[in-house]
Amino acid sequence: MQTNIISDFLHTPEGKQANEILRSCVHCGFCNATCPTYQLLGDELDGPRGRIYLIKQTLEGKTPSRKTQLHLDRCLTCRNCETTCPSGVNYSQLLDIGRTVINQKVSRSPAQRLLQFSLRKLFLSRFSFSLLLKTGQLFKPVLPAKLKQSIPDKPEKLHYKKKSHSRKILLIAGCVQPSLQPQIDTAAKIVFDKLAIECIEPASTSCCGSLSHHLNAENEAISIIKNNINNWLNIIKTNPVEAICMTATGCGVAIKEYQQLLANDKNYADKAKKISDLYKEPAEIIASTINSDQQALKQLARNRPITDKTIAFHPPCTLQHGLQHKNLIEPILEQCGFTLTSFNDSHLCCGSAGTYSITQKKLSQQLLSNKLSNINKTKPDIIGTANIGCQLHLQSGTSTPVKHWLELLI
Ligand code: SF4
Ligand code: SF4
């Protein structure tokens, strides 16, 4: 596609990147076929090709409006369009650049600003979030049904006694997961222990930065990310690890993007690359370990009754489109004795998408209802997934238990 980006912006690193990405798009529209918001709304401007066009117009000097901003806000950043695109267009990077420029030019309503600010403050403060969650759980029995659905139950506590192994990974806890579902990381430690891998953990937890990034607080995101990089590099210096892991794929993809976000920062570009290169999805390590060592597979399946329960595994978009891991977790579950059911449109987003379920509630609920209707047709005993956001979002609409896949392996 030909471009005519305004020269002031074209000579910035972001301008050069945007120009390259725009030029790689041939405007064929194949991506619209797998875009969830295009499928729901049927509007070209709510599909990837239309959004690319809106960003192009803005970077070429056209004044964006609140309507332009809304079309970009409605994007789930699910990256299904990237998987579909035959030309390899880096849509998510272009979207990041476009959103930043448009948000500088179009002011948000006071209600939107307040919502975004409150979400950031709430989710980034472990104390406030934990207090609100505990209060919600306490009063859940007397709350109206709609509100009840959005408050997750207190999970059962899991116990694990740390053991030392020569293989080590750095396991990062993240911001809200330790309060909401602490058993997921405990399950990860138990599973890795079965494979003779020790999980080292930082003394304090912090957000991966994606929350601020997706709520348009770019400076805050960069400061969180730099802090993480410094902390983690410090730990790794004295405790060499083979990988950095998180059990939420949404956070994992954010860490993989550190190198892209800080590529133009001369003090942090190399450090960010080192962290992104070290990041591995836990399933990558588990799959390579059990596939190269039958004893490890036996160890993983040992003491865990092979269940006759059927699992519908929902692969989060951050796993299949962001990290580009397709069919990575399903074979592990099958090797451990589970029967997996397959359902239609498993490539589509469930509507969780970070804070999308709060900021774009109607679209999010439509996607949730479509996802659960497809899953329910296969009548699974359990729904498995790999990202806490998807897990809680799916659970809010069904009585079928929704579990993180690592919990199934303990
Ligand atoms: S992003 Fe890819 S699939 Fe979509 S219009 Fe551009 S080239 Fe075609
Ligand atoms: S990221 Fe997802 S919602 Fe956004 S344009 Fe691409 S396919 Fe559509």
3-class secondary structure, 407:
helix
Q: If you measure from the C-alpha of residue 295 to the centroid of ligand 2, how many angstroms do you get, rounded to a whole number? A: 42
Give per-residue pLDDT as tens, 163-208: 999 999 999 998 888 888 899 999 999 999 999 999 999 988 789 9
Domain count, the chain: 2
Q: In this model, does residue 305 exceed pLDDT 70?
A: no
Q: Which of 389, 305, 304, 382 is nearest to 340 (CA)?
A: 382
Domain boundary residue, one of 105, 137, 169: 105
Give the number of the ligand closest to the Cα of residue 367.
2
**Is 198 a member of any domain?**
no
The amino acid at 5? I
306 confidence band (pLDDT: 50, 70, 90): low
Give per-residue pLDDT as tens, 21-46: 999 999 999 999 999 999 999 999 99
User: Structure pTM?
Assistant: 0.93
Q: What span, in angstroms and rounded, lies between the C-alpha atoms of 9 and 153?
A: 49
> Would you give the end-to-end CA distance of the chain in angstroms?
51
Per the CB < 8 A criterion, the answer to whether 357 and 393 are in contact is: yes
* Residues lining ligand 1, Cβ inside 6 A: 25-31, 48-49, 85, 87, 89, 91
Q: What span, in angstroms and rounded, lies between the C-alpha atoms of 265 and 115?
A: 30
The CATH number given to whatever domain includes residue 76 is 1.10.1060.10
**Considering Cα of 389, then 392, then 394, then 396, what sign does the dihedral take?**
negative
Give per-residue pLDDT as tens, 131-158: 888 888 888 888 887 777 778 888 888 8
Residues 6+ apart with CB under 8 A from 144: none
Helix 249-256 vs helix 269-278: crossing angle, to nearest 10: 140
Full domain range(s) for residue 366: 305-409
**Is 245 a member of any domain?**
no
Give per-residue pLDDT as tens, 92-132: 999 999 999 999 999 999 999 999 989 888 888 878 888 88
**Cα–Cα–Cα angle for 226, 231, 237, rounded to 5 degrees:** 125
Domain boundary residue, one of 88, 105, 122: 105
**Is 27 a member of any domain?**
yes
**Is 196 a member of any domain?**
no
Domain boundary residue, one of 81, 105, 129: 105
Q: If you measure from the C-alpha of residue 69 to the centroid of ligand 2, how many angstroms do you get, rounded to a whole number? A: 15
Q: Is 79 in the pocket of ligand 2 (CB under 6 A)?
A: yes
Length of the chain: 410
- Tokens 């999980």 correspond to 199
Give per-residue pLDDT as tens, 234-255: 999 999 999 999 999 999 999 9
Q: Percentage of residues in the chain with pLDDT exceeding 90?
A: 77
Q: If you measure from the C-alpha of residue 33 to the centroid of ligand 2, how many angstroms do you get, rounded to a whole number? A: 10
Predicted confidence at residue 1, as pLDDT, reads: 86
Q: What is the best residue among 32, 43, 45, 79 to mutate for testing ligand 2's pocket, by most ligand atoms within 8 Å of CB? A: 79
| Structural element, H or E, at residue 51 | helix 48-59
Give per-residue pLDDT as tens, 329-379: 999 999 998 999 999 999 999 999 989 999 999 999 999 999 999 999 999
Predicted confidence at residue 309, as pLDDT, reads: 86
Q: If you measure from the C-alpha of residue 310 to the centroid of ligand 2, how many angstroms do you get, rounded to a whole number? A: 30
Q: In this model, does residue 223 exceed pLDDT 90?
A: yes
Q: Is 393 in the pocket of ligand 2 (CB under 6 A)?
A: no
**Is 240 a member of any domain?**
no
**Is 330 a member of any domain?**
yes
Residue with CA closest to ligand 2 atom 7: 35
The CATH number given to whatever domain includes residue 389 is 3.40.50.1860
**Is 62 a member of any domain?**
yes
**Is 43 a member of any domain?**
yes
